[in-house]
């Protein structure tokens, strides 16, 4: 199993931008998909973006499509989530997750499909 560490969260004003990082420790052979999820108190963890390493395919939830971009830096073994046009409803704890078998799909993504998780980073969008 890989180990994941998120960073880059913080406080940002509405309309602002943040870039989250997911540092991956372990062999690239140990994961195929990286997913970004977010969670607010009392709600289920929401899958918002996914990246498949075999073909570079991506997925975005409707709630973030057009505003967030997922990307990978091979040299740094890091997956990023660039977040723009942030809204107060984007406030949440953001998690990255990895799985060796999962393929990103346009049909959505669910936390149960990912085996390895980071500890999360808080993003707060507020004026």
Per-residue pLDDT tens digits for 32-62: 899 999 999 999 999 999 999 888 899 999 9
The CA distance from 127 to 121, in Å, is: 19
The CA distance from 75 to 67, in Å, is: 25
Q: Return the half-sphere exposure (C-beta side, CA atoms, 13 A cut-off) of residue 55.
A: 7
Per-residue pLDDT tens digits for 81-99: 999 999 999 999 999 999 9
Give the model's confidence band at 75: pLDDT under 50 very low, under 70 low, under 90 confident, else very high.
Answer: confident
The CA distance from 28 to 78, in Å, is: 11
Per-residue pLDDT tens digits for 22-31: 999 987 777 8
- Which residues fall within 8 angstroms of residue 37, CB to CB, at 6 or more apart? 45, 46, 47, 48, 94, 95, 96, 97, 109, 111
The CA distance from 108 to 9, in Å, is: 24
Mean pLDDT of 107-127: 95
């Amino acid at each position: 199993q890989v180990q994941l560490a998120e960073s880059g969260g913080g406080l940002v004003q509405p309309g602002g931008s943040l870039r989250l990082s997911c540092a991956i420790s372990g062999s690239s052979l140990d994961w195929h998909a990286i997913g970004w999820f977010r969670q607010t108190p009392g709600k289920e963890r929401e899958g918002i973006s996914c990246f498949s390493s075999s073909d570079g395919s991506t997925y975005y939830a409707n709630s973030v499509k057009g505003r967030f971009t997922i990307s990978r830096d091979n040299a740094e073994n890091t997956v990023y989530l660039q977040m723009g046009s942030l809204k107060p409803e984007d406030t949440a704890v953001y998690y990255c997750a990895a799985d060796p078998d999962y393929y990103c799909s346009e049909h959505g993504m669910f936390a149960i499909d990912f085996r390895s998780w980071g500890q999360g980073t808080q993003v707060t969008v507020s004026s």
